[in-house]
Amino acid sequence: MSALLEMRSITKTFPGVKALDEVNLTVKEGEIHALVGENGAGKSTLMKVLSGVYPAGSYDGEIHYDGQLAEFGDIADSERRGIIIIHQELALVPLLSIAENLFLGNELTKGGIIDWQGTFKRTEELLKKVGLSEAPTTLVDKLGVGKQQLVEIAKALSKEVRLLILDEPTAALSEADSQALLNLMLELKSHGVTSIIISHKLNEVRRVADSVTVIRDGTTVSTMDAKTQPITEDAIVRDMVGRDMAHRYPDRERRAGDMLLEVTDWNVWHSEHVERQVIKNAAFNVRAGEVVGIAGLMGSGRTELAMSLFGRSYGRNISGSVAIKGQPADVSSVPKAIDAGLAYVTEDRKSLGLILEETIQRNITLANLPGVSSGGILNENEETEVSEKYRNAMNIRTPSVFQKVMNLSGGNQQKVVLSKWLFAQPDVLILDEPTRGIDVGAKFEIYGIINDLSAQGKGVLMISSEMPELLGMCDRIYVMNEGALVGELTAEEASQERIMSLIVTE
């Protein structure tokens, strides 16, 4: 196979940051090429350079595509050459239909007016290619993230794609949706489409990739080719973090102290479909020093459980009782829940967790301003000190804590959300998919911080779709299915098979 793409010595700087430093990337025609590296290594930036988001002239180095020097002025330019990028944050318009989204800016017209009949027909064909059977008039809003991801790909296919770039496409997907998407990539490959995939899920990378390029600190570390050497997770990890990582989970001493959080008879109805009960008689507890997991499939109600508990941020007709440290607790609003000692780290960092146009520092101290104030006056030096501490502990990659959060890479934004709630010093910390989009090295750091918290006698409730993570971290695991807690396993009892069998048999 010859090279379809050669990026040579690409250097890209932002004020105060050299995001890419003479990076090289060669992608062969017809292959699936994975791009991996730690949070902030420069993966998304490299793909933005390639697709013209950062136009020619704003970076140094050369892009050779299909045998020619390519100098794209913008995204439309690279699209015309068949390069289609699907960004880390999805870009569909929620209140438009699937068909409208697919042909936005590219409308099919007949005699100067939109040809709806043609649009719907073409939409149906494209949806079929990606395995969706939704009506073209369905609002994107009504689709789960997995299906939205497939619609993005259908959109790419509407544009005669030759090189498809997927930036962390499966980060927010369930196991089944991820598999469907990876299968679709393989299918596209069989039709000659070349793809670049960025992912932190190394098992997926191993499964689909023909080659893997690892970048670290803005430089190319290595490229592995499955034809000449087997691509193993260990080899990828070693190149990513620059050392062997024998253990993915830090050692943890198990201890269960006094009762911290006790929830009984918890019932919640759907916010919009009032007749639908989403949480059914849930009862669970967390003791001081414990890390307790909630396992379950996507849509089983785990996030709804956490959000309804945290100041009724979700749901209607909520009933049940909550006790914290043995006393009835009022958690009926977010401020009250925080006062009562709860904190909730959301799975959706963009919409609920961060103020993007604010600095890292302000975001970290936001949930505990009294912690950096004296006599009601904010002490900015202390604020800086605190945020520097978290920046070091979490290895948040940024030139300064005064940087705006929106300029951080995806994984580093997630670390800021975590820092914010750790600094709030809650008694019980609820973590919803805490390591989504986080690289393996940083995951280890975050697990270490969770362990430290529990060693201090805090309680942690952890929702995660990554079963190895629950098994590696939790003292106990509740299993949730269709809104009900259907089982409870100790660390010793728990295994992937037992969790799955509880989900399936109930």
Least distance (Å) between residue 164 CB and ligand ATP: 17
293 near ligand ATP, rule: CB under 6 A: no
Instruction: Choose, by CB under 6 A, the member of 4, 25, 34, 41 that binds ligand ATP.
Output: 41
- Nearest to Mg ion of 43, 458 (CB atom): 43
Instruction: Choose, by CB under 6 A, the member of 311, 411, 472, 487 that binds ligand ATP.
Output: 411
3-state helix, strand, coil in the chain (%, to 5): 35, 30, 35
Least distance (Å) between residue 343 CB and ligand ATP: 23
- Give the DSSP H or E segment for 219: strand 219-225
| Best CA proximity match to 198, nearest among 171, 166, 161 | 166
Q: Which does 303 bind (CB under 5 to 8 A by kind): Mg ion, ligand ATP, none?
A: none
Instruction: Choose, by CB under 6 A, the member of 27, 31, 34, 40 that binds ligand ATP.
Output: 40
C-alpha to C-alpha distance for 87 and 81, rounded to whole angstroms: 18
Give the pairing type, strands 277-287 and 259-269. antiparallel
Residues 368-407, interacting with ligand ATP (CB under 6 A) = 397-398, 407
- Nearest to Mg ion of 178, 409 (CB atom): 409
C-alpha to C-alpha distance for 460 and 474, rounded to whole angstroms: 9
- Nearest to Mg ion of 42, 301 (CB atom): 42
**Cα 188 from chain centroid (whole Å):** 24
- Nearest to ligand ATP of 178, 398 (CB atom): 398
Place of tokens 């430290």: 452
C-alpha to C-alpha distance for 193 and 113, rounded to whole angstroms: 33
The region of 129-137, 409-417, 427-435, 443-451 touching ligand ATP under the rule CB under 6 A is 409-417
Least distance (Å) between residue 40 CB and ligand ATP: 4
19 near ligand ATP, rule: CB under 6 A: yes
Q: What residues have CB less than 8 Å from 243, skipping those under 6 apart?
A: none
| Best CA proximity match to 35, nearest among 161, 164, 154, 183 | 164
| Best CA proximity match to 192, nearest among 28, 312, 436, 52 | 28
The single-letter DSSP state of residue 15 is: T
C-alpha to C-alpha distance for 319 and 308, rounded to whole angstroms: 10
Residues 78-137, interacting with ligand ATP (CB under 6 A) = 88
Instruction: Choose, by CB under 5 A, the member of 410, 459, 472, 487 that binds Mg ion.
Output: 410
Least distance (Å) between residue 14 CB and ligand ATP: 3
Q: Which does 40 bind (CB under 5 to 8 A by kind): Mg ion, ligand ATP, none?
A: ligand ATP
- Nearest to ligand ATP of 49, 295 (CB atom): 49
Least distance (Å) between residue 265 CB and Mg ion: 43
The region of 34-42, 51-59, 314-322, 342-350 touching ligand ATP under the rule CB under 6 A is 34-42
Sign of the Cα torsion 36, 38, 44, 45 reads negative
H helix runs in 135-174, sequence order: 145-157
- Nearest to ligand ATP of 141, 358 (CB atom): 358
The region of 39-47, 111-119, 189-197, 280-288 touching ligand ATP under the rule CB under 6 A is 39-47
Instruction: Choose, by CB under 6 A, the member of 7, 34, 44, 82 that binds ligand ATP.
Output: 44
C-alpha to C-alpha distance for 484 and 326, rounded to whole angstroms: 24
Q: Which does 158 bind (CB under 5 to 8 A by kind): ligand ATP, Mg ion, none?
A: none
x/- mask, Mg ion, residues 17-46, rule CB under 5 A, reads ---------------------------x--
Instruction: Choose, by CB under 6 A, the member of 5, 7, 45, 304 that binds ligand ATP.
Output: 45
Structure tokens at 116: 């709806």
Structure tokens at 175: 């196991």
**Cα 57 from chain centroid (whole Å):** 31
39 near ligand ATP, rule: CB under 6 A: yes
The region of 36-44, 261-269, 283-291, 487-495 touching ligand ATP under the rule CB under 6 A is 36-44
43 near ligand ATP, rule: CB under 6 A: yes
Least distance (Å) between residue 245 CB and ligand ATP: 17
Least distance (Å) between residue 90 CB and ligand ATP: 14
C-alpha to C-alpha distance for 264 and 328, rounded to whole angstroms: 11
Residues 432-453, buried b or exposed e (16+ Cβ, 10 A)?
bbbbbbbbbbbbbbbbebbbeb
Long-range contacts (CB closer than 8 Å, 24 or more residues apart) made by 8-13: 8/61, 8/62, 8/63, 8/64, 9/60, 9/61, 9/62, 10/46, 10/49, 10/59, 10/60, 10/61, 10/63, 11/59, 11/60, 11/61, 12/42, 12/45, 12/46, 12/49, 12/54, 12/58, 12/59, 12/60
The region of 43-51, 268-276, 305-313, 373-381 touching ligand ATP under the rule CB under 6 A is 43-51
x/- mask, Mg ion, residues 41-80, rule CB under 5 A, reads ---x------------------------------------
| Best CA proximity match to 328, nearest among 259, 421, 424, 256 | 259
Sign of the Cα torsion 254, 259, 264, 268 reads negative
The region of 120-128, 138-146, 401-409, 467-475 touching Mg ion under the rule CB under 5 A is 401-409
Span between the terminal Cα atoms of the chain, in Å: 50
Residues 412-431, interacting with ligand ATP (CB under 6 A) = 412
What residue ranges bind Mg ion (CB under 5 A)?
44, 409-410
Kindly list the residues in this chain that would bind ligand ATP in the complex (CB under 6 A). 14, 17, 19, 37, 39-45, 88, 397-398, 407-412
